[in-house]
Structure 1
Amino acid sequence: MTKSLLWRGMVVGIVAAIIATMFARLTAEPQIDLAIAYESVHAAHYGDAPMPHEEEELVSRATQKGAGLLTAMMLYGAAVGGIFSLLFAYGYGRFGQAGPRSFALLLAALAFLLIVIVPGIKYPQTPPAVGSHDTVGLRTAAYFAMIALSVGGAVIASKLRAALVRSRKGIDATLLVVGAYITLVLLGQCLLPVVNEVPADYPATLLWNFRVAAILTQMILWATIGIAFGLWAEQVMRRQ
């Protein structure tokens, strides 16, 4: 059954990515265009505009927000959809008596929280035009380290709850592990480097709109995966 769920998860992930791409194209991409325009005006104003040969784009902006965005999102959707299906196959029936649809939604909500919301508290999304090119590697590594810390902390918390629930009430064990998870995440956030490269005169509304659009894009992706995969998995399990 795992193999059957795996390819279904990848298909659902691709469909979810297409839907999320359509939303991002309408909401996030216009904010990126405004951010690029701001960067150009800012560079020209302070006399640090790039030389003509440096302005040549390897990939045009139209391709970036068209075929490039769709391709990247579909690959991402297929990957996370496949991983989601494996986690579903492993976890279904192990945690409570939730049905396939309920468990898929719960798993998608948990993934959205651990992969998007928690890392975003430390490193919120910023338009590509914001930030120094010299620190791209540092910012990328720090962001993925925050994701690893969030997911790893959740795994540790689940193991801790399994051990505590034998001697404590379920609600007490849950509150203890939630507190432990928050403590671990806060400690990790304090140890990870601080990244603050948004210019002081950067338009606050533009930054806010982009971050909201980025979060909503991810929410649509994970909500679609949770709903569609739950429906499909339920059909598979009924036939089994």
Structure 2
Amino acid sequence: MVGKLLMRGMLAGIAAGLLTFGFAKMVGEPQVDQAISFEEKADAAKGESPEPELVSRHTQAGLGLLTGVMAFSAAIGGLFALTFSALVGRVGKLSANALSALLAIAGFIALVIVPNLKYPANPPSVGDPATIGYRTGLYFLMIVISLVTLVFSLKVRRAAIARFGTWNASIAGAAVFVVIIAAVQIGMPAINEVPAAFPAVLLWKFRIAAIGMQVIMWTTLGLLFGNLAQRSLHAGSRTANARSLHQAV
């Protein structure tokens, strides 16, 4: 069953990747082109020659973007399915659709919203190349902290259900998550390498496009995988019942 769910998760991820690619191509790439143009003009004003392209812009915005988005979405779909397999039947009487939707919401919050609140995406020409390793490390550290905090908050919720009820326990778990994440983000170093002359509207549109891509991917993954998993689980249940009946006869 895990293998079937894994396959369905990757298929859902591929479907999500196609939709995400379409959005990125129409909404995100124009912002990237404007950011590159800004960088080229800034370099020209300084008398610096443009850096040679290792990969053409046409390839980056076409095949390169498609390959990257599809590989990422398929991988996330597989991990999503494995996590779903570990949780199904262990989190109450949630249907496959409901569990998939909740898992997608949790993943979106922990893997996208939380790290981007502290370290939002930046377009080309924003950021010092010398600090890219440092910035990347902080971003992934924020993701790890977010995931650990999410797991801890869910344990707090589960422990509090017997005493305070499901609703109050859920509020307590959410409050624990928010407080810990807020404290961590306040304590972690801030990074602001946006040039003073960089257009604020362009930066805002780029970051909205980056979040929009993630919204489309996680929404599609949560809804589509839930439907596929529901069918798979029902088919597996019917097969198991048929075998039990045959053995009884």
Q: Any residues of structure 2 matched to 1:57-206 within 5 Å, and which?
A: 57-206=53-202
Matched residues in 2 for 1:167 and 1:15: separation? 43
Shift of residue 12, structure 1, vs aligned partner: 1.3
Matched residues in 2 for 1:170 and 1:217: separation? 33
Matched residues in 2 for 1:211 and 1:139: separation? 17
Shift of residue 172, structure 1, vs aligned partner: 2.3
1:14 matches 2:28: no
The code of the aligned residue for 1:46 comes to K
Q: Quick check: 79-88 or 171-180, which moved more?
A: 171-180
Shift of residue 171, structure 1, vs aligned partner: 2.2
Shift of residue 46, structure 1, vs aligned partner: 3.2
Paired positions, count = 236
Q: Quick check: 90-99 or 66-75, which moved more?
A: 90-99
Shift of residue 94, structure 1, vs aligned partner: 2.1
Shift of residue 126, structure 1, vs aligned partner: 1.2
**Structure 1 unaligned runs (5+)?**
none
For the Cα contact (< 8 Å) 1:32–1:129, is it kept in 2? Answer: no
The code of the aligned residue for 2:58 comes to A
Matched residues in 2 for 1:112 and 1:129: separation? 27
Shift of residue 90, structure 1, vs aligned partner: 1.3
Q: In the alignment, what sits opposite 1:5? A: 5
Matched residues in 2 for 1:57 and 1:40: separation? 12
Matched residues in 1 for 2:22 and 2:128: separation? 29
Matched residues in 1 for 2:11 and 2:166: separation? 36
Shift of residue 28, structure 1, vs aligned partner: 0.5
**Structure 2 unaligned runs (5+)?**
237-249
CA change 1:131–1:101 in 2 (3 A) is same
Q: In the alignment, what sits opposite 1:40? A: 40
Matched residues in 1 for 2:185 and 2:82: separation? 29
Matched residues in 2 for 1:146 and 1:65: separation? 28
Give TM-score, length-normalised by structure 1: 0.94
User: 1:58 is paired with a residue of what secondary structure?
Assistant: coil
Matched residues in 2 for 1:102 and 1:179: separation? 22
Matched residues in 2 for 1:201 and 1:143: separation? 25
User: 2:180 is paired with a residue of what secondary structure?
Assistant: helix
Matched residues in 2 for 1:3 and 1:107: separation? 19
Matched residues in 2 for 1:175 and 1:73: separation? 35
The code of the aligned residue for 1:184 comes to I
Give TM-score, length-normalised by structure 2: 0.90
Shift of residue 98, structure 1, vs aligned partner: 2.1
Q: CA RMSD in A?
A: 1.3
Q: In the alignment, what sits opposite 2:246? A: none
